[in-house]
Amino acid sequence: NGTLYLTATHLIYVDASAEVRKETWILHHHIASVEKLPLTTSGCPLLIHCKNFRVAHFVIGHERDCHEVYTSLLKLSQPVKPEELYAFSYNPKMPKDSREIGWKLIDLKVDYQRMGIPNDFWEITDANKDYEVCNTYPPEIVVPKAANKATVLGSAKFRSRGRIPVLSYLYKENNAAICRCSQPLSGFSARCLEDEQMLQAIRQANPGSPFMYVVDTRPKLNAMANRAAGKGYENEDNYDNIHFKFIGIENIHVMRSSLQKLLEVCETKSPSMSDFLTGLENSGWLRHIKAVMDAGVFLAKAVKEEKASVLVHCSDGWDRTAQVCSLASLLLDPFYRTFKGLMVLIEKEWIAMGHKFSHRCGHLDGDLKEVSPVFTQFTECVWQLMQQFPCAFEFNERFLLEIHDHVYSCQFGNFLGTCYREREALKIFEKTHSLWPFLLQKKQEFRNPLYKGFTAYKELKPNTLPFSFQFWCGMYNRFDKGMHPKQCVLDHLLNCMSQKMKLEDNATDLENVSPRSKSTLESFCFKEKRALPNS
Amino acid sequence: MEFAELIKTAKVENVQLSCPGLPPIKGTLCITSHHLLLSSQPGGNGEQGTVELWLLIRNVDAVEKRIASSLGTITLKCKDLKVLQLEIPGMEECLNIASSTEALSSMDSVMMMYPFFYRPQSMKLKDGWQLYPLQHYYQQIAAETSAWRLSCINGDFTICSSYPPAVIVPATVDDKVLQKAARFRQGGRFPVLSYYHKKNGTVMLRSSQPLIGPNRKRCQQDELLLSTVLDGGERGFIIDTRSAQAAKQARMMGGGTEPKSSYPRWKRLHRPLERGRLLQESFIKLAEACNDTSLSMDRWLSKLEGSKWLAHVKAALSTACLAAQCMEREEACILVHGAEGTDTTLLVTALAQVILDPNCRTLTGFQGLLEREWIEAGHPFHFRCAHSAYSHARLKQEAPIFLLFLDCVWQLGRQFPFSLQFNERLLLVLFEHTYASCYGTFLCNSEKERCLCEVKEKTHSLWSWLNQPSELNTHLNPLYTYNALVIWPSVEPQSLQLWQGLFLRWIRSSQYLDEAWAEIHRLVTSCEDAPEESAGRTLCHSQPGAAYPLTITGTANEG
């Protein structure tokens, strides 16, 4: 028994029966669907499904009240205009310049510098500054030095939506690169000299390898069907020394319906073990997660072991391509397994490269067929890796869940819109806050106490046999507290860590004073921290 | 000596040993009465003379041979689920090694088994056998109540061949009544005390099924024995581990279950648990699925489901929770039985105690529980663990009931990572030693048989080895802290996981998980070293090592 409140941003439920005041806050943007169920004797039930997989069930005494709440929630959860999004009204009372500094926290140029770019083979160009090459790419892109402007523009005409091959990650140790693009407009026989030159330039930017991979992350059948529409995939005969390969990751529609089935299984009331496992299998969810992981592993292996560059695409190159490229980077480079690194990776491969967060997450009232859990799958792949390598990540599961929450919350500007150009038009850098500084403030609770540091593991080689993939209860049944381990190892270890840090602080203090007697200690000025010789 | 006749070739040179995850090693293979040994030879990838393999032949579950011209390959599938391959030059040698291994591994005579020959210098024969006497457990109860007594009615095993000499029974019921009641229960397993719940004085009894039979026989003494347990107007629960229908059908074979009319104050609950052949087949199917690395995700999930193993885990935990709930929440006494009362009955009574009683969650308390509720209680280990998941032999009485128990305990440890004092490694050791061991603890089917074979005089106890400080330390959970509460597990499918540490032990690498446990150990101990900080928690020192699978999740629920 409790009270329901609707505010401009949240639905708040206050449980009156609990001894301690218990509040449940649901952000309107988190609401995926609201359903009115048939009237019962106790009242009118309202079922709310959230994008972070919370399921809330309210029973409202009067039908009229229920209907009003229902219609309000429908409106509040599906804003029509971007200006209605929470980010534009969210005001954490922060000075203007810290908000601006917040947006500068992640600088992709620094990451390219870390990879050694610019160098003899790669350059950062502003060829796209007026979105002349591609309107869903950022103004600055990394392309081979050998590719001149004509090559870039020519290739853009031959790639779906102008999404030309650009660098995603350079493995400094052997010059092998991961590049990404969209599908070529090859149809059944079309060719493009500039596009062929572009690929050649990428291959030659890695002198150590005589060939490069071109990976189409779609199932072969889908790619072939695209040829009829004048799109398709690279013909090995037209490009010098490419090894072409399909990796069958299904499209956004298959993924959407797979998640739907998974959630139905998760919501079933006390299912038998057989119901659950059969449902898990039939949803296909873990099969899709494995497909993404397999693709990431293939890329990482090609780069690290075969020393070959890889060009990755799917159809438009903003869903599967983003998943696979970011996963491969995470496997290859320990930097991306740090707080800062994961932020950079998401900014670089997802936000900057035009993953359509607004559409995929259904931020605004729009086409439901555009909604798909592509980023959720990436988040899960990271989690699966954390299960296999508990000491390899600086952050813990809560960090992933928090990011996932905010991808949908629209509280921060980072994930608004569909691409850099749109975000510019929305003036998010002027009007909204960035998520990242906000997360860094809470770093202590997101820390992985088992993290062994940057140098402990270089590249990760996960086991991708089916049994290595686990159902992520912490995500899909996150709010069913009864299902989780009843004692929290993470909290305990975080406690241990903070105690240890306190101790170490004390120890440093003590090292600086003589342990001779209490009086000397007291007479000592701590602020100066003068060192005395140990007696 | 019988052994010598079985060993046709005792030594072969240039044998190559390979097991998954390790480079192959060449060496000299020797076969002794109880062991297969392989010591590496020069240029054989190992250091010369190092013994690379020291395999108890009893551990071999299945021997598969393949001969190609003069080279033979033997695949040894072990009871602990490990798979080894030996490449043996010479067809005859290969066949001899295979047949000797087969013969030696399937020797049925208990007194020919290795524990009777194993004489480590650091241990004394008598140690460890009297660590957990029932008298000791009884004294704990007697300190609380005088309602129970220790009866030595079974001193010469004539009343019940599968019970220990002493049992705990209601104080007011004399041995004559027991004697009659025993005749009314299958195998003479009359209701005895299994667990006394100190918190509210309720008890858990266990027995076998009553011999109601087609003519609906009654037994006044059995009815008396059970009604004595209940005070005044109290009601009790009988948890029958068979379905209502199976229990009814058992009447045709002379068994049955307590009818309401004769036991009016007992409410019967039927919770069917699988045992016997179906459980063994479940184990076989699961091991098969785990070993098949060619499976797609869909096939894997389908085979995991098809094995039904996790369904058995869920059922066992649910029934144990029900038993615990009756005692803790309903404050009622309970009687648990199935048919014989030596399998699913013990599974439920032992698990319920781990859930209810914090003492059973300590290392010694757990050993005591195993001694009392499995070994002395007459779980037929010799029959049940004669073969493991790989054997091609015709199934007789094999069933992994005890493994199912260990799996359930592992699930408890996963859900309550601070509440068990021991770690996963202990559970793995127990699993191994029930199937093949150099200690006598799990030999035979009952105390009577152990007495006849003089197991306690002529073999060493597993406990005395486990409890040596050096061993003990490797079996402790670094996160343990005493938790006086009942640990109610979730039995939702989302909360139960495949026990990878056991079923995938030899198939996937545990390097990164081990490193994580070493890290946990390091963190916990470094934090413990602060004197003022450790006051609230009593944590035990232990070696880094496999404890529970890491669910370093952020979404746990404080319990």
Q: Read off the pLDDT of residues A236-295 as tens digits, 9 standing for 90 and up.
A: 999 999 999 999 999 999 999 999 999 999 999 999 999 999 999 999 999 999 999 999
Is the CB of A403 inside 8 Å of chain B's CB atoms? no
Does residue A391 have a known ligand-binding role? no
Least confident of A323-327, B16-20, B282-286: B16-20
Does residue A314 have a known ligand-binding role? yes
pLDDT for the residue B5: 82
Is the CB of A396 inside 8 Å of chain B's CB atoms? yes
CB B76 within 8 Å of CB B83: yes
Least confident of A25-34, B97-106, B378-387: B97-106
Question: In the structure, what pLDDT confidence band is assigned to residue A17 with cuts at 50, 70 and 90?
Answer: confident
> CA-nearest residue of chain B to A499?
B527
- From the list B328, B320, B323, the residue with the least C-alpha distance to B202 is B328
The structure tokens listed for B360 are 């059973």
> CA-nearest residue of chain B to A448?
B552
pLDDT for the residue B533: 39
> CA-nearest residue of chain A to B289?
A467
Does residue A315 have a known ligand-binding role? yes
Interface ipTM: 0.92
Average pLDDT (B190-198) is 97
- From the list A403, A443, A418, the residue with the least C-alpha distance to A364 is A418
Closest CB to A487 among B297, B419, B513:
B419
pTM greater than 0.90 (yes/no): yes
- Taking 90 as the threshold, does the pLDDT of residue B52 lie above it? no
Given A44, A181, A314, A419, the catalytic residue: A314
Least confident of A281-295, A328-342, B80-94: B80-94
> CA-nearest residue of chain A to B533?
A499
Question: In the structure, what pLDDT confidence band is assigned to residue A314 with cuts at 50, 70 and 90?
Answer: very high
- Taking 70 as the threshold, does the pLDDT of residue B558 lie above it? no
- Chain A nearest C-alpha distance from B458 (Å): 43
- Taking 60 as the threshold, does the pLDDT of residue A535 lie above it? no
- From the list B191, B269, B200, the residue with the least C-alpha distance to B227 is B191
Question: In the structure, what pLDDT confidence band is assigned to residue B46 with cuts at 50, 70 and 90?
Answer: low
Question: In the structure, what pLDDT confidence band is assigned to residue B131 with cuts at 50, 70 and 90?
Answer: confident
Per-residue DSSP letter, B255 = -
The answer to whether the Cβ–Cβ distance between B494 and A398 falls below 8 Å is no
- Chain A residues inside the 8 Å CB shell of B497: 470
Average pLDDT (B397-419) is 97
- Chain A nearest C-alpha distance from B216 (Å): 36
- Taking 70 as the threshold, does the pLDDT of residue B381 lie above it? yes
Tokens 């540490």: give the residue.
B501
Least confident of A168-177, A353-362, A481-490, B292-301: A481-490
- Taking 70 as the threshold, does the pLDDT of residue B161 lie above it? yes
Q: Residues with Cβ < 8 Å from A167, sequence gap 6 or more?
A: A117, A122, A141, A142, A143, A177, A178, A179
- Chain B residues inside the 8 Å CB shell of A488: 553-554, 556-558
DSSP structure string for B472-491: HGGGB-TT-----S------
Pairing of strands A212-216, A176-181: unpaired
Is the CB of A287 inside 8 Å of chain B's CB atoms? yes
Question: In the structure, what pLDDT confidence band is assigned to residue B559 with cuts at 50, 70 and 90?
Answer: very low
Chain A segment 328-387 residues within 8 A of B by beta carbon are 386-387
Q: Which residue of A389, A484, A495 is the best one to mutate when testing the B interface, meaning the one whose CB has the most B CBs within 10 A?
A: A484
Summarised one tens digit per residue, pLDDT across range A397-429 is 999 999 999 999 999 999 999 999 999 999 999
- Taking 50 as the threshold, does the pLDDT of residue A527 lie above it? no
Q: What percent of chain A has pLDDT over 70?
A: 95
Report whether the peptide linkage leading into residue B358 is cis, meaning its omega lies within 30 degrees of zero. Answer: no
pLDDT for the residue B198: 94
Q: Which helix (H) or strand (E) holds A518?
A: helix A518-523
Distance CA A426, CA A83 (A): 8
pLDDT for the residue A498: 87
Distance CA A456, CA B519 (A): 12
Chain A, chain B: beta-carbon pairs less than 8 Å apart: 193
Return the exposure string of B420-445: e unless at least 16 CB atoms fall within 10 Å of the residue's CB, then b. Answer: bbbbbbbbbbbbbbbbbbbbbbbbbb
Kindly list the structural domains of chain B, giving each domain's residue range(s) and its CATH number in brackets, ordered by start.
3-107 (2.30.29.30), 134-557 (no CATH)
Annotated catalytic residue A381 = no
Q: Which residue of B355, B423, B553 is the best one to mutate when testing the A interface, meaning the one whose CB has the most A CBs within 10 A?
A: B553
Summarised one tens digit per residue, pLDDT across range A499-510 is 888 877 777 766
Q: What percent of chain A has pLDDT over 90?
A: 87
> For residue B294, with 0-12 CB atoms within 10 Å meaning exposed, 13-18 middle and 19 or more buried, which class applies?
exposed
Question: In the structure, what pLDDT confidence band is assigned to residue B529 with cuts at 50, 70 and 90?
Answer: low
Is the CB of A284 inside 8 Å of chain B's CB atoms? yes
Does residue A230 have a known ligand-binding role? no
pLDDT for the residue B124: 86
pLDDT for the residue B534: 39
> CA-nearest residue of chain A to B420?
A487
- Chain A residues inside the 8 Å CB shell of B293: 465
The answer to whether the Cβ–Cβ distance between B305 and A277 falls below 8 Å is yes
Average pLDDT (A112-135) is 95
Q: What percent of chain B has pLDDT over 90?
A: 79
Closest CB to A449 among B494, B523, B558:
B523
Closest CB to A273 among B419, B493, B555:
B493
The answer to whether the Cβ–Cβ distance between A391 and B301 falls below 8 Å is no
- Taking 90 as the threshold, does the pLDDT of residue B539 lie above it? no
Question: In the structure, what pLDDT confidence band is assigned to residue A529 with cuts at 50, 70 and 90?
Answer: very low
- Taking 60 as the threshold, does the pLDDT of residue A192 lie above it? yes
In sequence order, the β-bridge partners of residue B87 are: B16, B73
Question: In the structure, what pLDDT confidence band is assigned to residue A102 with cuts at 50, 70 and 90?
Answer: very high
The answer to whether the Cβ–Cβ distance between B556 and A487 falls below 8 Å is yes
- Chain A residues inside the 8 Å CB shell of B304: 277
The answer to whether the Cβ–Cβ distance between B305 and A281 falls below 8 Å is yes
Distance CA A407, CA B551 (A): 25
Chain A segment 69-98 residues within 8 A of B by beta carbon are none
In sequence order, the β-bridge partners of residue A311 are: A179, A214
CB A285 within 8 Å of CB A255: no
- Chain B nearest C-alpha distance from A275 (Å): 9
- Chain B residues inside the 8 Å CB shell of A249: none
Question: ∠ at Cα B355 (B354, B360), nearest 5°?
Answer: 25
- End-to-end CA gap in chain A: 67
Tokens 């060009």: give the residue.
A311
- Chain A nearest C-alpha distance from B449 (Å): 39
Mean pLDDT, chain A, rounded, equals 92
Closest CB to B508 among A391, A463, A484:
A463
- Chain B nearest C-alpha distance from A496 (Å): 5
Phi/psi of residue B347, each to 5°?
A: -55, -45
pLDDT for the residue B535: 37
pLDDT for the residue B282: 97
Question: ∠ at Cα A485 (A480, A488), nearest 5°?
Answer: 110
Per the document, the length of chain B is 559
Question: In the structure, what pLDDT confidence band is assigned to residue B552 with cuts at 50, 70 and 90?
Answer: low
- Chain A residues inside the 8 Å CB shell of B295: 465-466
Is the CB of A485 inside 8 Å of chain B's CB atoms? yes
pLDDT for the residue B538: 36
- Chain B residues inside the 8 Å CB shell of A500: 523, 526-527, 530
pLDDT for the residue B133: 87
Q: Which residue of B290, B296, B297, B525 is the best one to mutate when testing the A interface, meaning the one whose CB has the most A CBs within 10 A?
A: B297
CB A255 within 8 Å of CB A288: yes
> CA-nearest residue of chain B to A485?
B415
pLDDT for the residue B123: 86
Average pLDDT (A141-148) is 96
Distance CA A514, CA A535 (A): 7
Summarised one tens digit per residue, pLDDT across range A213-235 is 999 999 999 999 999 999 999 99
- Chain B nearest C-alpha distance from A273 (Å): 5
The answer to whether the Cβ–Cβ distance between A274 and B494 falls below 8 Å is no
How is the beta sheet containing A242-246 ordered, strand by strand?
A166-171, A176-181, A309-313, A212-216, A242-246
- From the list B7, B48, B10, the residue with the least C-alpha distance to B27 is B48
Tokens 């039904």: give the residue.
B308
Least confident of A50-64, A394-408, A442-456, B10-24: B10-24
- From the list B136, B111, B188, B2, the residue with the least C-alpha distance to B451 is B111
Q: Which residue of A249, A258, A277 is the best one to mutate when testing the B interface, meaning the one whose CB has the most B CBs within 10 A?
A: A277
Report whether the peptide linkage leading into residue A118 is cis, meaning its omega lies within 30 degrees of zero. Answer: yes
- Chain B residues inside the 8 Å CB shell of A387: 550
Summarised one tens digit per residue, pLDDT across range A26-58 is 999 999 999 999 989 889 999 999 999 999 999
Mean pLDDT, chain B, rounded, equals 91
> CA-nearest residue of chain A to B519?
A450
The answer to whether the Cβ–Cβ distance between B494 and A483 falls below 8 Å is yes
